[in-house]
Chains A and B, each alone.
Chain A
């Protein structure tokens, strides 16, 4: 919980508490599983209560050790959420781009975090399950109808990239669209969060991404250029997190 120097790493290391919030079945646990184990399970069972995992993220000049609370999205657990975000320095709020209601839920969580969590908390908004709509033209949400082969499974995009991103910009959030299944953008999310943690909230001798503020990052959010905004632009997934 508190900082502790990594025994073998020469770089300074800091612990960062991260909480995942979002509607049930949007893929929170799957994102964590991808980040921590680089794995995916097609039929992941719902989380009960919350899972606690840790994973290091190597930035060029320091190591961030994430202490991750992967919470259960089911409603009966909602009242426990404050316990997990109370001291969190960062939050990952997830929705499912094929399910419009999940963005509504995500907005509720973000509002709650802004009201109740620690003031400096870094929040990333993540639209997950990008692989399900890979074949589609991105950009426009297809309201209602559900066309073509997507119809049977209801797997069409219901939240456009623009809708998610515009909202994220308004609220000064990091924004990504990801696929836990393919791994697309997953490490990028965590790396960006690691970089966005304000130096002052880290106890280590040196700051993280060196002053990139949440607002600056949020306003510049672009799907794939995300990670390039930072000093560690060349720290791709392999050199970044989940090493």
Chain B
């Protein structure tokens, strides 16, 4: 442990802002950030601002649920604490929404007109005002609803409205009963194989259009680079339309960012020589889809690095990028499907850690530092897809977007893991430095294999001999990931792994890890004993850029239930992240669920309870979660990590 000092002072993993990831060149994220703990600590600017929120949280912005013991804090502005009134929602919102136009450029009237042709919100000014009216009496925060209702409802309001049932609650029913979610089970099936004579074209097209989500990457000249579903032949027509639209607006210096048609949202992202398009029927917001596209773009950069991407196109603008990207479909598919399936990690742009005793984590960190190879830049220990420990130089943080790419490669795409053995992978981590390559040593070990490594002297027999190859890598494996700028560092990192495993075995930490992995995520009911009404929650520590959650079991085990839950979380997330929203606490009710979102500069908390649960009850449960986190913080989050 680099800093056993007070928790207020402990350096965080230091991940810099997702916002800066794609365009920063050179080394980024060097600034030191400080750990934050939940309120009521003194406020500080957060370094993990997601970029979707209002610029700088201040004390006045800091939210806190109105609990008896904290109502005496006069400096907490009442607007943040009034959410316990009998409102379904309260919002302070001004002007622009991230959902319609996200750049000043696109505020141009012509843009609005053009978008309104597709818009499903725009033609319903009557509905808008009606629903606004139904909310107006319950909104007890001073906000400029007059101007919002002026000549034209503001985009923010319209965007928000899209989340609201005209009746009395958030659109939770749709989130929970949404027949689209049922289709998630077919979403990842491949299309039928195209018949040689094209006779099954219609079938293919039907299957293709039934997909809930599409992602496309096109070169600026309109060549398809990637499509999640369908072959070139099938998508070429659509890609052509998309390209025409994009270049029409680019020609007018007014880039098309998003539009909706019926229930389908289209989002475009122009990145250098590439255009990326997301098409979603599952009610995600523009900002969420844009993040997903950013992530796909980061994957492309990670494969090629920015200079070589630019060089490819400056040499020949009509280059077919499929060739240099050959074989990365699995990575892009992995990302896409993760987004479609709905993962808390991507929704919250943060990572989950393995819950581990603080002393154990410290021993593991110390081991990492002790055996560190001079070739090492970053090291990660990942257990069952959750972070155990991070080792990094003092002046370099780990970018969450980069970590997401690594996790996707290791745990979603599967090609690395399926290979067994060890891997040596060149990759660009665009958040760290989008101009060059790093080299990643990856070793997956089952606890038994780890024991075998530990029991044999360094550089002696590898564990993976015929006798123990029956084990196929599973998500229960330990992944050791060491990243180096030196392409010849494989053997030195490999012996670092051997030393690490030996050291962890000696300190009994392998057993501790195996136990923690076996334990898995605790269900809500055991985290919050005494009959909590909560079925699930997500808690993100913004300072640490990490989140924690209980098990999806028993309520959300299957893919449909999980997608519905994630849709609900996405709705909550969107509403509290509408640009310039000062919304801090959101209550939402429906026939099937009661939900709460609570955002402060320190954390984001999303809670879901069964239907008909009183707000007060949910609120109390939410506070229990916060109390639990406060107690468990150093178990559920990596605070500081191993820094050298």
List 5 additional contacts besides A7-B460, A46-B415, A76-B303; criterion CB under 8 Å: A36-B469, A45-B413, A49-B425, A56-B466, A70-B419
Q: Are A48 and B304 in contact (CB under 8 A)?
A: no
| A29, A50, A77 pick with most chain B CB within 10 angstroms | A50
Q: Are B425 and A53 in contact (CB under 8 A)?
A: no
Residues of B within 8 A of A6 (CB): 461
Indicate whether A72 reaches chain B with its CB closer than 8 angstroms. Answer: yes
CB distance from B57 to the nearest CB of A (A): 40
Q: Are A55 and B465 in contact (CB under 8 A)?
A: yes
Give the contacts of A62-81 with B (CB-CB under 8 A): 65, 70, 72, 74-77, 80
Residues of B within 8 A of A75 (CB): 323-324, 326
Give the contacts of A194-240 with B (CB-CB under 8 A): none
Instruction: Show 23 residue pairs from A and B whose CB-CB distance is below 8 angstroms, ordered by the A residue.
Output: A4-B459, A4-B460, A7-B456, A24-B327, A33-B419, A36-B420, A36-B464, A37-B469, A44-B415, A45-B414, A46-B327, A48-B327, A49-B424, A51-B421, A52-B424, A53-B421, A53-B464, A56-B465, A72-B327, A74-B326, A76-B324, A77-B426, A152-B196
- A45 and B415 in contact (CB under 8 A), knowing A4-B461, A7-B456, A55-B465? yes
Residues of B within 8 A of A37 (CB): 420, 469
CB distance from B451 to the nearest CB of A (A): 15
How many residue pairs bridge A and B at CB < 8 Å?
98
CB distance from A29 to the nearest CB of B (A): 6
- In angstroms, Cα B461 to Cα A1, docked, is 10
Residues of A within 8 A of B332 (CB): none
- In angstroms, Cα B425 to Cα A75, docked, is 14
Indicate whether B370 reaches chain A with its CB closer than 8 angstroms. Answer: no
Q: Are B459 and A54 in contact (CB under 8 A)?
A: no
- In angstroms, Cα B488 to Cα A44, docked, is 27
- In angstroms, Cα B324 to Cα A72, docked, is 13
Q: Are A243 and B414 in contact (CB under 8 A)?
A: no
Among residues of A, the one whose C-beta sits closest to the C-beta of B323 is A75
- In angstroms, Cα B304 to Cα A44, docked, is 23
Indicate whether A41 reaches chain B with its CB closer than 8 angstroms. Answer: yes
Write the A7-33 contact mask toward B (1 if CB under 8 angstroms, else 0). Answer: 100000000000000001000010001
Q: Are A243 and B466 in contact (CB under 8 A)?
A: yes
Q: Are B327 and A52 in contact (CB under 8 A)?
A: no
Which of A24, A45, A51, A80 contacts B423 (CB under 8 A)? Answer: A51
CB distance from A45 to the nearest CB of B (A): 3
- In angstroms, Cα B462 to Cα A1, docked, is 11
- A54 and B466 in contact (CB under 8 A), knowing A48-B423, A75-B324? no
Indicate whether B330 reaches chain A with its CB closer than 8 angstroms. Answer: yes
Among residues of B, the one whose C-beta sits closest to the C-beta of A80 is B426
Among residues of B, the one whose C-beta sits closest to the C-beta of A52 is B422
Which of A24, A45, A152 contacts B330 (CB under 8 A)? Answer: A45
CB distance from B70 to the nearest CB of A (A): 50
Give the contacts of A57-99 with B (CB-CB under 8 A): 65, 70, 72, 74-77, 80, 83
Q: Are B425 and A83 in contact (CB under 8 A)?
A: no
Residues of B within 8 A of A4 (CB): 459-461
Give the contacts of B417-435 with A (CB-CB under 8 A): 418-427
Which of B303, B409, B419, B462 contacts A54 (CB under 8 A)? Answer: B462
Indicate whether B416 reaches chain A with its CB closer than 8 angstroms. Answer: yes
Q: Are A51 and B196 in contact (CB under 8 A)?
A: no
| A41, A48, A52 pick with most chain B CB within 10 angstroms | A48
Q: Are A55 and B425 in contact (CB under 8 A)?
A: no
Indicate whether B183 reaches chain A with its CB closer than 8 angstroms. Answer: no
- In angstroms, Cα B465 to Cα A242, docked, is 9
- In angstroms, Cα B461 to Cα A54, docked, is 9
Indicate whether A47 reaches chain B with its CB closer than 8 angstroms. Answer: yes
Q: Are B421 and A48 in contact (CB under 8 A)?
A: no
Residues of A within 8 A of B414 (CB): 45
CB distance from A186 to the nearest CB of B (A): 14
Indicate whether B133 reaches chain A with its CB closer than 8 angstroms. Answer: no
Indicate whether B490 reaches chain A with its CB closer than 8 angstroms. Answer: yes
- In angstroms, Cα B172 to Cα A61, docked, is 72
Q: Are B327 and A44 in contact (CB under 8 A)?
A: no
Among residues of B, the one whose C-beta sits closest to the C-beta of A4 is B460
Residues of A within 8 A of B425 (CB): 48-50
Indicate whether B487 reaches chain A with its CB closer than 8 angstroms. Answer: yes
Among residues of A, the one whose C-beta sits closest to the C-beta of B334 is A45
Residues of B within 8 A of A50 (CB): 423-425
- In angstroms, Cα B323 to Cα A50, docked, is 19
- In angstroms, Cα B491 to Cα A24, docked, is 25
CB distance from B216 to the nearest CB of A (A): 21
Residues of A within 8 A of B461 (CB): 4, 6-7, 65
Among residues of A, the one whose C-beta sits closest to the C-beta of B463 is A54
Q: Are B420 and A53 in contact (CB under 8 A)?
A: yes
Q: Are B416 and A48 in contact (CB under 8 A)?
A: yes
- In angstroms, Cα B459 to Cα A24, docked, is 31
Residues of A within 8 A of B416 (CB): 48, 51
CB distance from B592 to the nearest CB of A (A): 38
CB distance from A157 to the nearest CB of B (A): 21
- In angstroms, Cα B545 to Cα A217, docked, is 60
| B326, B330, B413 pick with most chain A CB within 10 angstroms | B326
CB distance from A48 to the nearest CB of B (A): 5
CB distance from A226 to the nearest CB of B (A): 22
Q: Are A24 and B326 in contact (CB under 8 A)?
A: yes
Write the B452-482 contact mask toward A (1 if CB under 8 angstroms, else 0). Answer: 0000100111101110010000000000000
Q: Are B421 and A54 in contact (CB under 8 A)?
A: yes
Residues of B within 8 A of A48 (CB): 327, 409, 415-416, 423, 425
CB distance from B379 to the nearest CB of A (A): 18
- A52 and B324 in contact (CB under 8 A), knowing A7-B461, A45-B415, A76-B303? no
| A52, A55, A56, A70 pick with most chain B CB within 10 angstroms | A52
- A55 and B426 in contact (CB under 8 A), knowing A4-B460, A47-B419? no
- In angstroms, Cα B408 to Cα A48, docked, is 13
Give the contacts of B466-520 with A (CB-CB under 8 A): 466, 469, 487-488, 490-491, 494
Residues of A within 8 A of B422 (CB): 51-53
Give the contacts of B288-345 with A (CB-CB under 8 A): 303-304, 323-324, 326-327, 330
Which of B409, B423, B427, B491 contacts A1 (CB under 8 A)? Answer: B491
CB distance from A80 to the nearest CB of B (A): 6
Q: Are B330 and A46 in contact (CB under 8 A)?
A: yes
Q: Are A54 and B420 in contact (CB under 8 A)?
A: no
CB distance from A172 to the nearest CB of B (A): 30
- A54 and B464 in contact (CB under 8 A), knowing A1-B491, A48-B409? yes
Residues of B within 8 A of A47 (CB): 415, 419
Among residues of B, the one whose C-beta sits closest to the C-beta of A51 is B419
- In angstroms, Cα B332 to Cα A45, docked, is 13
Among residues of B, the one whose C-beta sits closest to the C-beta of A54 is B462
Q: Are B423 and A52 in contact (CB under 8 A)?
A: yes
CB distance from A78 to the nearest CB of B (A): 11
- In angstroms, Cα B491 to Cα A52, docked, is 11
Q: Are B409 and A242 in contact (CB under 8 A)?
A: no
- A44 and B418 in contact (CB under 8 A), knowing A24-B326, A36-B464, A52-B490? yes
CB distance from B333 to the nearest CB of A (A): 10
CB distance from A25 to the nearest CB of B (A): 9
- In angstroms, Cα B467 to Cα A243, docked, is 8
Residues of A within 8 A of B460 (CB): 4, 7
Residues of B within 8 A of A56 (CB): 465-466
Give the contacts of B192-214 with A (CB-CB under 8 A): 196
Residues of A within 8 A of B456 (CB): 7
CB distance from B21 to the nearest CB of A (A): 21
- In angstroms, Cα B413 to Cα A54, docked, is 23
